[in-house]
Chain A
Amino acid sequence: MSAATNSGIKRSRRHIGDHPLPWLLPLILLLVTFTIYPFFYNVWLSFHEFAPLSRSLEYVGLQNWSQLLGDTRFWQSLSITLAYFVVALTLELVIGMCIALLLDADEPGFGLLRALLTMNLVIPPAIVGYMYLLMEDPQFGVISFVLQMFGLVDTSTPILSSPSLALAGVLLAEIWQWTPFMVLILLAGLRSLPTEPYEAAMIDGASAFQTFWRLTLPMMWKVIAIAVLIRGIDLFRVFDYVFVMTSGGPGTATYTLSYYSWQQTFSFIKWGYGATLSLVTLIIVLVVANIFVKFAKVRW
């Protein structure tokens, strides 16, 4: 990477002809129809609001935006989303890396184990949400049962309806389903690392721990960054588990940004305010993702 940037010459893998337009046109049409037009419509929408009496959208200027700044529900849901984001991303990354390191072997059987990992990912998130809703049920849920056995919760505190535990309960489903995704990406990275430096490290006397910190982690940096980026963007719009498991409750304990904007839009028919909320979510994701890309030195 730095060789290319140092010399200022950008080398391309493919030769693109002098007339790229015919090849770009289909993509441009798709983008305009499904991404750019909805985006601008959303922006337009955020300056309007649905008026129930006239049953039409009316121009309201900056009202939605000023309402947003003073909306404690919004700030609350933002901080809940951030907490969800940080905890889920950290755990999925760390656990994912541990599992990936364990599965990075050529012995027979490991291929099957790697294939099994994809099973979590093919289940629809809403179904996973229902599974965990049942498993965390205080009467007959297996997770509640186990936690009660260890005295961590008692029968009087149902996980999903106690304000201090509900978010953790939702995170459980999230982490169970998405850690394998991290494992798959990290494993693909690990399996493609060169073996020679590892041989040199053995000769140099590095312990497994030193090898991981000084060799694997730096060599995996870009793969990790990409995994964090993809998963991170996804985490910001968490909706399914919350919708199925808690509906944002108890109280506002699991109100995430996307759940809040969904509710404003479709339950309260505040189309303009809902659009404003989702725009803000988009802006936050864009800003955070770009800062991350800059600092992680990911090159597209």
Chain B
Amino acid sequence: MSKVEFKNAQKAFGAVKVIEGLSLEIPHGSFAVLLGPSGCGKSTLLRMIAGLEKLTGGEVAIAGKRVNDVHPRDRDIAMVFQNYALYPTMKVRENIAFNLEIQKLEKREIERRVSEAADILNLRPFLDRYPKELSGGQRQRVAMGRALVREAGVFLFDEPLSNLDAKLRAHMRVEIRQLHERLGATTLYVTHDQIEAMTMADIIVLLDKGAIVQVGTPDEVYEKPNSVYVADFIGSPSMNFFDGEIEADGEEVRFRAANLSIPLEARYRGQAGKSVKLGVRPNDLHFAADGAFKGEVILSETTGAEVQIHVRIRDSDVVAVAPRTERRVHGEAVALSVPPGKVHIFDAQSERRIEPQ
């Protein structure tokens, strides 16, 4: 059992507070993805679990045991460092095998595991090279290899695929997930890649400035973001936002802004009169002649299967995602509609989600 817990954990570098009173529980065997903007403390959190950063307050626990003062080598952890941290004087083969040698595994077993990892990572031709003779992506794969051969209780991945090409990345997503399931390990995974986060995670932990903003399954975080911050962060392209207020008019509840009036679900009736932010995901916007959002096309970007169409509505830009067959030209007047169940309403002041039953 290797549940990972933070209890009111704090970390400061001198006067700079990086993590302030963070509590979190990653259940045993689950795959948690840490998301957040650059500099929000993701690497610091992983390094606190690994024992590479001392906490300045609170507690980290692994498998229910406080490990604040346990040496990294005794925490049963495998880690892929954001900066790779390869051993410069060892060949790729030795880099990958180092832990196994320390565990005094049999030579044949070490050989087997290293070549298995090398196959997964396409590293076979480089096994006898030194790290400085490799490209950035190859080095990152060596760093991955060091983790793949391990059978640790907790796996920490700090943006492990950031430098790989799309194909290898897709392949590695599957491999990492399989490793996780085969070992029944607890995994913490940092990424900036939305697809990685959505496809791999059991739990997504969203961070901002060293604090947790939301914890939930990928579906929860995507469908019920608890704040404008989360809604904006999750999903690509980002959610469209409109400032306005809720109006109840007889039977109808509507969101009304300067030149916009959108029907809402009846459950928002109680919020009438409130200033709110309305959010709509680009792929929930559909072209419809009688749509509420009227504007003109300013840009159309094809991304393979889909096309992202930027529409200017008054003074704000809105992005809609449509199948690539939807061809729109610059300057064309269009109207977009959104199904009432697909809008997200946030309080204008606190930017928290409004979710009446």
Contact = CB atoms under 8 A, between A and B. Distances in A.
Interface residues of B, number: 26
B85 A202 contact: no
A210 B130 CA distance: 20
Contacts of A200: 79, 81, 85-87, 146
A207 B98 CA distance: 12
A2 interface: yes
Contact of A203 (B72, B90, B103, B130): B72
Contacts of B130: 2
Nearest to B132: A3
A194 interface: yes
A203 B99 CA distance: 9
B83 A205 contact: no
B89 interface: yes
Contacts of B51: 202
Contacts, number: 64
Contacts of B78: 203
Nearest to A210: B102
A215 interface: yes
A215 B133 CA distance: 18
Interface in A44-78: none
B50 interface: yes
B87 A202 contact: no
Contacts of B146: 200, 204
A202 B73 contact: yes
Nearest to B150: A204
A206 B73 CA distance: 7
A205 B102 contact: yes
Given A2-B133, A214-B90, A215-B89, A206 B102 contact: yes
A13 B78 CA distance: 38
A196 interface: yes
A206 B98 contact: yes
Nearest to A202: B72
Contacts of B132: 3
Interface string B127-153: 000101100000000000010000000
Given A3-B133, A205-B73, A196 B89 contact: no
Interface string A165-203: 000000000000000000000000000001011011111
B329 to A, nearest CB: 52
A201 B71 contact: no
A202 B71 contact: yes
B86 A197 contact: yes
A134 interface: no
B288 interface: no
Given A200-B87, A207-B73, 17 more contacts: A2-B130, A2-B133, A194-B88, A197-B86, A197-B87, A200-B81, A200-B85, A200-B86, A202-B51, A202-B72, A204-B73, A204-B98, A204-B99, A204-B102, A205-B73, A214-B98, A219-B89
Ranked nearest first, the 5 interchain pairs of A and B with the lowest CB-CB distance are A218-B89, A196-B85, A202-B72, A204-B99, A200-B85
